[in-house]
Amino acid sequence: MLMGWVKLHRETLEKAIWKCSTPEQKVIFVTIIMLANHKENQWIWKGKQFKCQPGQFITSIKSLANYGGVTIKNVRTALLKFEKLEFLASEQASDGRLITVLNWDRYQNNEDNTGKQPGKPLAKGWQTPGKGVATNKKEEKEKEFKEEVYKLQSPHRKEFIDYWTEWNKSGTKMRFELERTWDLKRRLERWASNSFGKKEEIKPKRKNTQNVERILNEDYTKYKRGETRNIGDLIDYLYEKDYT
């Protein structure tokens, strides 16, 4: 059973996250604020115990849609927009989606002893870019990826990690997270077989000039005599014999 209450700053009405959102997205926005944990909470995520911090919660696209009375498509579109506006960060796993409301503590802080609320204005989209929270989250995700890679045996794991942990322009996903399918072991094996991501230089074969000249003379003579159907046969023959 959900208990307690949350704050919603009036200045939100003047921000892009409200002005540029559809009615459905505004419902999802408020729903996310109400579902976020206000204190640490234990959960099972990625198959192991996970400690949700204030401003975080684990849910699913379908669950958010049910809470808000909107469609799944509405939720997906809203999450993408909210990530761009740096209102939240989202990470999907097989057993749930982790939602992190950036700078949660700044906007849901308790009133002080005088009963006054902290007079910190909201920033452009929803809040100032969550550099502290986002940076820590990035570092944790990179560390987790590195640990998984180093469990596997490969002499050039560093190059593999450097390549696949490159972040996209919006800073929300690493290169490997943009892949439609991902099997770490197979990717690492393929990386090794492809000379660690670098295309091998193909050295041209040395041509046997004398053999080429002889073949050309003999077959062209046959072509002129009509013994060979067309010049294409000659070319095919040369390729077959690897004289080109």
pLDDT tens digits, one per residue of 55-113: 899 999 999 999 999 999 999 999 999 999 889 999 988 888 999 998 887 667 655 43
Which SS3 state, helix, strand or coil, does residue 63 take?
helix
By the 8 A CB rule, do 119 and 112 touch?
no
Q: Report the half-sphere exposure of 72 (CA within 13 A, side-chain side).
A: 4
| Length reported for the chain | 244
Q: Cα–Cα distances in Å, from 10 out to 114, 197, 234, 244?
A: 21, 52, 82, 76
**What domains does the chain contain, in order, with CATH numbers?**
1-128 (1.10.10.10), 130-202 (no CATH), 209-240 (no CATH)
Q: What average pLDDT score do residues 118-137 get?
A: 49
User: In which element (H, E) is residue 110 found?
Assistant: none
| Confidence at residue 188, expressed as pLDDT on a 0 to 100 scale | 84
pLDDT tens digits, one per residue of 29-69: 999 999 998 888 888 888 888 888 888 999 999 999 999 99
